[in-house]
Amino acid sequence: MRLSTRNQLTGTITDVTLGSVMATVKVKLDGGEQIVTASITKDAAEDLGLVVGQPATVLIKSTEVMIGVE
């Protein structure tokens, strides 16, 4: 499958937390200690069969990136 999303980061799933409607998935990126957290629907997580230790690609498509500091 080819995608138009240019920001594709590979890694390994380190945590999958299923809620009643949403799921939180943490992916440790290859080559470092950085972790990306994604919130997806519970149905999507179950349909994809996401499990800890599974290789995954994080796709990032955003029109805004924000940073806040005190």
- Quote the CA–CA distance of 33 and 25 in Å, as a whole number: 16
Domains of the chain with CATH codes: 7-57 (2.40.50.100)
CB within 8 Å of 22: residues ≥ 6 apart: 39, 40, 41, 42
pLDDT in tens, 7-66: 899 999 999 999 999 999 999 999 999 999 999 999 999 999 999 999 999 999 877 878
The reported pTM is 0.87
For position 52, what pLDDT does the model report? 98
